Amino acid sequence: MAEQIRHYATLGKMGGWWFKLNASIDDTFRTTVYLAARGRGESVSDATLLMKKAHFDYGDFTRYEETIGRRLIPFYAWQRNNIALQAKLLFEKPGYANVYQKIKHALEEEGLNDESKVPNYMLPRWLKNQLMLQLSNDEGKTKGLVIGNLTPIQELVEIGQSIYGEEGFAEMWNYFLSSASPILKTPIEWSMGRQAFNDRAIGDSDLGEKTIVEHMVDQIGYFASFKGLSKAYMRDGMEGILYQLMIRGRFQPLDIDRLQAQISIEKNEEIKKLRRSVNNAVRDGDEERAMRIAERIIDTYRVMYFSGLRERVPKALHGRFTREEVGMKREGVTPPGSNVPQQLPFK
């Protein structure tokens, strides 16, 4: 049964050429490493060992991993080998782990002015958790080129978030759940009432949430690809479709107005939940916990304030945030969001 599903999901013989092409490329790389080692005078066993170190052995799995792990997590073979390798390199060559961030900052410094750059705290969660390069075109519009999943270190970064307390552990869980098979992921997301990838709620369409039927349809890879092409065409016409096909949606528009609207919705929902938590803590007589949650509410309003949403922030907090701005300027630090236009108040 599983083999039949896999056959239809990969378009049978029609899609078989893609897997054969990948296999031939992998064989070419392995052979090149082996022959280069032999050319340097290495023995057969040493050359073989070097080849295995340079390229993962995707057949080296236990029965449990082969029958369960690889079926529930589509990229299990890569993740299992790569995460171990990246952890090893992190201790052997610590500077290697930061090289991608250095390249990102260098390219943005040269190709993006301060007015065009979108502050990191304004980005949606799924973009914050990836290595993304901001670029601006001739019209001054900013787009994000997602390169995180093209860098081997990204997976180790995702796991490393778990050391940053409860929220960090939740991000690591979301990463693993997002990469799981729909058979495992779908019922878990239904039980959580939200998608792990982008945190969008699942349930009532009248509240702007994704319905269960929509969520089920989105698990079909071909439909999701079609949807991505449709959005790209609506946004950028045929040029958008071309980009989507070439780089599979790695270019993401960073429109300030859309980001502000998204932040306004998400942060207001977050504040509602935090206020309920404060009330529960006060009811239980836990003043220390209530104060910690209150500080998180202030932090959430701070993000809104510096995202150009000052009209959504209580006036009582304006003075506090204004003093923070003044303090940053005195220290020669540019306040976050200084290039972000203020959203007009609702009438």
Centre a 10 Å sphere on the Cβ of residue 106 and count the other Cβ atoms it contains. 10
Per the structure, how many domains does the chain have?
A: 2
Tell me the three state secondary structure of residue 347.
coil
Task: Determine the pLDDT at residue 10.
Answer: 53
d(Cα 52, Cα 3) in Å, to the nearest integer? 28
- Domain-located, residue 11: yes
- Please state, in angstroms and rounded to a whole number, the distance separating the CA atoms of residues 199 and 178: 11
Instruction: Decide if 71 is inside a domain.
Output: no
| Domain final residue pick, 12, 38, 55 | 55
> Is 38 a domain residue?
yes
Task: Report yes or no: 116 and 144 within 8 Å, Cβ to Cβ.
Answer: no
- Whole-structure pTM value: 0.58
For residue 269, the enclosing domain spans 257-330
317 in a domain, yes or no? yes
Angle between helical axes of 44-54 and 12-39 (0-180°, round to 10): 130
pLDDT at site 346 = 43
What are the pLDDT tens digits along the chain (347 aa)? Answer: 545 555 555 555 655 666 677 778 888 888 998 999 999 998 999 888 888 877 777 777 788 887 777 777 777 777 888 888 888 888 888 777 777 777 777 777 766 666 667 777 788 777 776 777 777 766 667 777 777 666 777 777 777 777 777 777 777 888 788 878 888 888 888 888 888 777 777 876 655 567 778 778 777 766 666 776 777 677 667 766 776 666 555 677 777 788 888 888 888 888 888 898 899 999 999 999 899 899 989 998 998 888 888 888 999 999 999 999 889 888 887 777 666 666 554 44
The C-alpha atoms of residue 267 and residue 44 are separated, in whole angstroms, by 60
Which of 20, 37, 55 delimits the end of a domain?
Answer: 55
- The pair phi, psi for residue 134, each rounded to 5°, is -85, 130
For residues 31 and 51, what is the distance between their CA atoms, to the nearest angstrom? 8
pLDDT of residue 144: 78
Cβ burial 259-280 (10 Å sphere, 16+ → b, else e) = bbeebbebbeeebeebeebbee
Handedness of CA 226, 229, 233, 235 (dihedral sign): positive
Judge whether 150 lies within some domain.
no
- Closest C-alpha among 94, 60, 66 to residue 2: 66
Number of neighbouring beta carbons within 10 Å of residue 15: 13
Within-domain flag for 123: no
